[in-house]
Amino acid sequence: MQEIVLLLQDPAAWIALVTLVVMEVVLGIDNLVFISILTNKLPAEQRERARRIGIGLALVMRLALLGTVAYIVKLTTPLFEAFGHGFSWKDLILIAGGLFLVWKATKEIHHSVDPVDHDEDFIASSKSGTMTAAIGQILLLDLVFSVDSIITAVGMTDHLPIMIAAVVIAVAVMLVAATPLANFIEKNPTIVMLALGFLLMIGMTLIADGMGFHVPKGYVYAAMAFSGLVEVLNMFARRKRQADKASKTKLH
């Protein structure tokens, strides 16, 4: 308790908290895009529940991982060397997560291009199986991002209460933003393909990081922001054309 009081009185601790919250929220964007695409495949009445359960369990998992932070830090110790790079458990987790994202995004793009082939979706066709699979995949991907963010957080502060507070605040933001983002993606079908492209890029970035080729996150998010801006302009242009077409139809 005394440590928490001292932290509340320390300006450096507040700066670290704000920085960590921003970092967690930014890293959570990747998760939210994946969650939105995944849960939008569920029946309408199950979507919000699946998001809340998935994100809620992700919070529990992150807090549990923070409880083993001393062990998590050791995941950066190289296990073996190959291609001139020492691979650690963190690297292997990032590579596995990246491969999963690339595979999932590629499969979803294939289904978007060839909608007839939906029967081969690895998510079960039954409602209960679909929701269980969706939540399982949300947790799987969050595990990858959690390990990465916790190791980054340890490099920014030594205080566990600050890390816990940052995670709780960031997950609360994700809970609030999940449904509006998912609804926006559903109402704008072209956004789905853009989001899947983002997942492909993020997956390749995770693989590159795991292989020892660090890609600055700023470049990745700048590319995502620029692509999103172009898509927003396309949406406005489409709506303008539709409005003009509708007005011309009324005149005739």
Residue ranges per structural domain of the chain: 2-215, 217-252
- Residues 215 and 205: their CA atoms lie apart, in Å, by 7
Six token digits for residue 27: 């890293």
CA distance 63 to 157: 16
Neighbours of 99 (CB within 10 A): 15
d(CA 55, CA 171): 7
The yes-or-no verdict on residue 169 having pLDDT over 80 is yes
- The per-residue pLDDT for 11 is 66
pLDDT for residue 185 is more than 70 = yes
* pLDDT higher than 60, residue 191: yes
The overall longest dimension of the chain from CA atoms, in Å, is 77
Confidence bin at 152 (pLDDT 50/70/90): low
Per-residue pLDDT at 126: 41
The 10s digit of each residue's pLDDT in 94-131 is 888 788 878 877 877 777 776 555 544 444 344 445 77
Q: Identify the H or E element spanning 152.
A: helix 127-154
Measured torsion, CA atoms of residues 47, 221, 202, 208, in degrees rounded to the nearest 10:
-160
> What does the pLDDT read at residue 42?
82
Q: Look-up: residue for tokens 């995502």? A: 224
Q: What is the mean pLDDT of the chain?
A: 75
Q: What is the pTM of this model?
A: 0.64
Which residues, in sequence order, are CB contacts of 137 under 8 Å at separation 6+? Answer: 38, 104
User: How many Å is the Cα radius of gyration of the chain?
Assistant: 21
pLDDT average, residue stretch 56-63:
82
Q: What is the pLDDT of residue 127?
A: 45
Region of 216 please: left (phi>0), alpha (psi -120 to 50) or beta.
Answer: beta
Q: Are strands 85-88 and 78-82 parallel, antiparallel or unpaired?
A: antiparallel
E strand or H helix at 134, and its extent? Answer: helix 127-154
pLDDT band at 77 (very low <50, low <70, confident <90, very high): confident
CA-based torsion, 186, 190, 191, 195: positive or negative: positive
Comparing C-alpha atoms, which of 99, 109, 116 is closest to residue 195?
109
Task: Report phi then psi at 10, rounded to 5.
Answer: -100, 115
CB-based burial label for 101 (10 Å; 0-12, 13-18, 19+)? buried
